[in-house]
Amino acid sequence: MQDDDEQRAGAAGVVLGVFEQVPLPVVATAGARHRVIAANAAYRASAGRERVLGLPIEELFPELRGQQVLEMFDRVLTTGQAQVGREWRLQLDLDGSGVPVDHFYDFVVTPHRVGGTVTGTLLHFLDVTGAVRDRQLARGEVAAAEQRYGDAREAMAALQRQLLPRGLPVLPSVLVSASYLAADAEESAGGDWFDVVPLPDGRVGLAVGDVVGHGVAASAAMAQLRAVVHDRLDETGDPGLAVAAAHRVARRSTGVFGATLCVVALDPGGDVELVSAGHPLPLVVSGDGARDTTAVVGPPLGTGAGAWTRRTDRLEPGEVLLLYTDGIIERPGREPGTATAELVSAAAAAVADRGLRTPGLSAAERATTLVPELVIRATGHTDDVTLLAAQLIAPAPVWRTRVPAGPAAAGAVRGGFTDWLAAIGCGAEDALALQHAITELVTNAGEHGDPGGEVGVRAELHADGVAEVAVTDAGQWRPRAARDLSAPADDGLGLAMTSHFVDDLRVARGPGGTTVTVRHQLTRPARHLLAADVGSAAPAAGLVRHGLVLDSPEPARVLLLGDFDGTSAPALTAELERRTFGGTVSITLDLSGVSLLASAAVALLHRAVARSTRNGAELLLFAPEGSVAQHVLGLASLPHTTR
């Protein structure tokens, strides 16, 4: 008997030794709190401590709350079914700095049974952060774009993106965010859609719909339905009338028949009116959880008697109204109740900024950015997923400033104006357009204004999402013919360029001075995703830098970064003079990093190009397709290359 005991003890020692030396981190847990009952050396090293026995997983890694990991352990314990994850992005504080950072893991969690009863879990995992990062770097943006749009599936996804709104309105008291994830199937273009419509009475209309099927036909039906709903909301501001109009279309069109639709009108004070035609009800989400809005789901479009119940609800500050399509519920391997609970949990964590943290994003942006990643990465998806979120925000302030007229006026205004654009949530494209416009207007005001006087700027965001900016000075407008005839031929581009950057420009002249007012509809981008994008970090927020930076990566190439206006001219003139030996040596001027290209800078480039040409040299201007510089140089008819 003693020999048997010794043999068993020896065998147990061998097993323990092998377990301890396994290079893959392995841990066993027990009970509902998942307390550690066994952990090898590799796991203890990953946890950063030797004493782990008896501690719950949540205590070892508290930052896992809200990242769907603890919930995964719960599922294994309750269902007895293994869970597998591939390249999950988790934010962990492994170095004890207090700042969680992104890591990627492959893992398997299996049930631990004693006598046939599941008493705990077994986890082994592999840190694949290095491999994921290497693949991301190797792939590159250009290669990813070529791969994404290289076949018919991606072409249909591109079609879907073109049919959906290209931007969301920037509103003074309501912040709206949206994301669309294409179906993970061969025919990825589907019938999910969303829209946001500023209403005539100051409210905002929110619409989410789902047309049956996939492919080009579904996309065409979706576009038809969205156009009808948008038109009726814009005209009447009534969700019920918008749904009724969509119903009439569905009765006549087989492609729209059976589609679902939810339309909401949200008042900046928090009142909500909504109508649902066969569509999942929106959620009101807070950090503590979520609840369905108080409404009744009517029949899908084209079916039934065409009568839907209107209901009202209330959105409080700090809460997020989340509209969604059923693609986020109907996921592989999930019952609707379980999938809905996961959606609620992930949305609450995102709104409260728990779990995966994304600094700089609002609660609505986190809901549409992080929720798809948190719930879809565990199961995948087979249908389109659309999320549309809205939250109440403090009204956008009116911005005013006065600066001395002169060459430095534009630069003095631009910093504060850019901060105002960022504060109201303006998208980068519209921000650049308005920055260019204001730079030109302030520069012009300094030229024809009262010498020694001031230039005033007033910016306001209206309820319809239109920014109105007025630039005022005490001078009198001087027609082009009355200006100094010795001025260069490329002078006077300011107003012409400004009119191309904004929706509307008006000049008011009076005995007290001149006021130029521009109006421009502001938007912010929605996120249009493919399956490969789920799990990637959210894009960084931000607008543009101030001031021009000159760099010289090659002897015959000068790189410009940042703002390029009249105040930057001396620095660039000196650099070009030195590099070209007075315009006699050819160089390339790389404008790919320019965030602002004012008319004064365009005039300088005109003169520099002409001078080099006269001397038999070449000043080659490089402005990539779609860049700020390419747009401005095209308006100014200044020769350049995009390659």
Please write the tens of the pLDDT for every residue from 327-340: 888 888 888 888 88
CATH 3.30.450.20 domain locations along the chain? 21-131
Distance, CA of 346 to CA of 611 (rounded, Å): 62
What pairing do the DSSP bridges indicate for beta strands 587-597 and 557-564? parallel
Fold of 21-131: Beta-Lactamase (3.30.450)
- CATH number of 545-635: 3.20.180.10, 3.40.50.720, 3.40.920.10, 3.30.750.24? 3.30.750.24
Looking up tokens 């931007």 gives 167
Alpha helices in 353-481 (DSSP H): 363-376, 409-423, 428-448
> What tokens appear for 78 in the block?
């309750």
- The identity of residue 370, as a single letter, is L
Which of the following CATH numbers is that of domain 162-392: 3.40.309.10, 3.60.40.10, 3.90.1150.10, 1.10.1200.30?
Answer: 3.60.40.10
How many CB atoms within 10 Å of residue 481? Answer: 6
Which residues of the chain, if any, have pLDDT below 70? 1-12, 139-163, 184-190, 213-216, 295, 306, 448-452, 475-494, 529-555, 566
Rounded-to-integer distance, Cα 200 and Cα 232, Å: 12
Contact 274, 239 (CB under 8 A): yes
607 Cβ neighbours under 8 A, 6+ residues apart? 488, 490
Say how far apart CA 354 and CA 552 lie, in whole Å: 44
pLDDT of residue 186: 47
**CATH 3.60.40.10 domain extents, the chain:** 162-392
pLDDT tens, residue by residue, 461-519: 999 999 999 999 876 655 544 444 344 444 456 677 788 888 999 988 887 788 999 99
pLDDT (tens digit per residue) in 28-43 = 999 999 999 999 999 9
Q: Both ends of the chain: CA-CA distance in Å?
A: 85
C-beta separation of 18 from 38 below 8 A: no
The dihedral built from the CA positions of residue 251, 253, 255 and 261, taken in this order, carries a sign that is: negative
Three-state SS at 617: coil
pLDDT at 545: 43
Q: Are strands 26-30 and 271-277 parallel, antiparallel or unpaired?
A: unpaired
In this structure, the number of other CB atoms found within 10 A of the CB of residue 200 comes to: 13
Q: What is the DSSP string of 469-516?
A: EEEEESS----GGGS-TTS-TT--HHHHHHHHHSSEEEEEEETTEEEE
Residue 3: CB partners within 8 Å, gap ≥ 6? none
Distances (CA, A) of 597 to 437, 520, 565: 10, 19, 6
User: Which H or E element spans position 452?
Assistant: none
Q: Mutual orientation of helices 239-252 and 216-236 as an angle, nearest 10°?
A: 140
Mean model confidence pLDDT for the chain: 82
3.20.20.150, 2.40.50.100, 3.30.565.10, 3.40.190.10: CATH of 399-524: 3.30.565.10
Sheet of 35-39: strands edge to edge?
Answer: 35-39, 26-30, 117-127, 101-114, 83-92
- In single-letter form, the type of residue at position 578 comes to R
Residues of the chain with CATH 3.30.565.10: 399-524
Task: Tell me what pLDDT residue 542 has.
Answer: 38
Q: What string of DSSP letters covers 314-334?
A: E--TT-EEEEE-GGGTS-TT-
Bridge partners for 362 per DSSP: none
525 in Cβ contact with 167 (< 8 Å): yes
Query: Own/partner pairs for 506-509, CB < 8 Å, 24+ apart?
Result: 507/477, 509/476, 509/477
DSSP annotation of 566? G
CA 477 to chain centre: 42
Pairing of strands 190-198, 271-277: unpaired
Provide the whole-model pTM. Answer: 0.73
pLDDT at 147: 59
Q: Where in the chain is the domain with CATH 3.30.750.24?
A: 545-635
Displacement of CA 291 from its chain's centroid (Å) = 25
